[in-house]
Amino acid sequence: MHFELKYGDGSLPLDIEQSRILSVVLPNKRRSLADARNAVASALAQPEGTAPLLEMLIDRKPKKLVIIVNDITRPTPYSILMPPLIEVIEKAGIPDENVTILIATGIHDLHTHEQNLIVYGEEMCRRFRIISHDANDSSMLSHKGKLPSGYDYWLNRIVDEADFLITIGVVMPHYFAGFSGGRKSILPGVVGKETVERNHARMVEIMDNLPPIRENPISLEMIYAARIAGVDFILNVVVDECESIVEVVAGDLEKAWYKAVDVSQAMYMIPIPEQADITICSASGFPRDINLYQAQKALDHADRATKRGGTIILVAECRNDYGEKVFERFMTAGYSPEEIMSHIKAHFVIGGHKAYGFAKVAAEKRVIMVTSLSESIVASCFAQKASSLAGAIDMAIAQQSPGAKFIIMPEGSITSPVII
């Protein structure tokens, strides 16, 4: 069988005998919307669990309307989503100066103006105030009491002072929160670093046996945080592997989001008959393979498809190396996988959770990378670098057996294997 595995802005060819393949993990097909922009307008007018957005805005007459958007690491079709949304805001008589676009960077790097132009377009950058959330800037945060876990809840001050709050997101599988979108625009999107760390620390308890989404304690705490923040209206989409919109939901934080979750789950939680000796996994190309920090999501999905003692071939360009300083510090400190996992369990820190993800896989399986990274960086992640995809396959077969069986994951960052 022939595959083209996404790698950075291009692809790498893969040819492998069909008899050796246990399963090809691809998203279940769902027809993209013929007129996605009209579907967005319809969702805003006929939302789940709330009044139409226009009616809400006319009634509330917000002076501080805040729209929370994803950053550059979360591909989101703003050219389709924003025009109908802005049209509703204009019809409600809300002037541009009353609108703030807040980028939910979480703990990622702040956006440059050039990145804003790439992601949101010239018109949005010209018309509206656009601000990157900074989780490390205490002057930007308000204390909102305690989360259910007992830890402090620090929220972006712009969100806290908003008199109408809209969030925009994409609903995809997430390796410990269950799914993205919805409540994640708030936590981790626009909260303090300490709040993110305390919430994400619980990942070490559930990663080996992820609960159903409606029982996931991390997700439930995110919903709590979003309710306290006062999310009035969400606009979320489900996209296919080509980033075409297949579902639009709008309205109530939970009702609309769970509807999208059901669609995303049917598309991206893919059954496999058994785990493989060797899994070949693409991190889905740029921007999902922009760095190791992002590519780890694909590694986690590949881990679920691979036998204990098996080999994972991770295809990820990683043009920006590690992608986060704390993660890099853990990976370059000379710790063993077991030492990293023990440390993170005892002293959780953001960035360290990605190191935990690499260490968890390395403690049980072998990892070979096809990547632009240097051999020293690859080695720091407990992996071997292959000069080519064919070379990686030869290395993997040598580690396993001549009769080794494969699982192929062309969209490893977005598909999550489930053993049936």
From the list 170, 186, 4, the residue with the least C-alpha distance to 72 is 170
Q: pTM here? A: 0.88
Instruction: Specify the DSSP element, H or E, that contains 3.
Output: strand 2-7
Instruction: Specify the DSSP element, H or E, that contains 143.
Output: strand 141-146
Q: What are phi and psi of 185, to 5 degrees?
A: -60, -30
| Amino acid type, 219 | S
8 A C-beta contact, residue 312 and residue 362 = no
Q: What is the pLDDT of residue 108?
A: 82
8 A C-beta contact, residue 157 and residue 164 = no
8 A C-beta contact, residue 67 and residue 250 = no
Q: What is the pLDDT of residue 18?
A: 95
Residues 6+ apart with CB under 8 A from 367: 299, 311, 312, 314, 358, 361, 381, 382, 383, 384
Between β-strands 306-315 and 276-282, what pairing exists: parallel, antiparallel or unpaired? Answer: parallel
| Amino acid type, 76 | T
Q: Provide block-wise average pLDDT over 10 residues at a time, the chain (420 residues).
A: 97 96 96 97 98 98 97 88 97 98 90 91 94 95 96 97 98 92 97 94 86 95 98 97 95 98 96 98 94 95 97 98 94 94 90 93 97 98 97 98 97 94
Q: What is the pLDDT of residue 207?
A: 82
8 A C-beta contact, residue 185 and residue 225 = no
Q: What domains appear along the chain, each with residue ranges and CATH number?
A: 2-27+273-419 (3.90.226.30), 36-268 (3.40.50.11440)
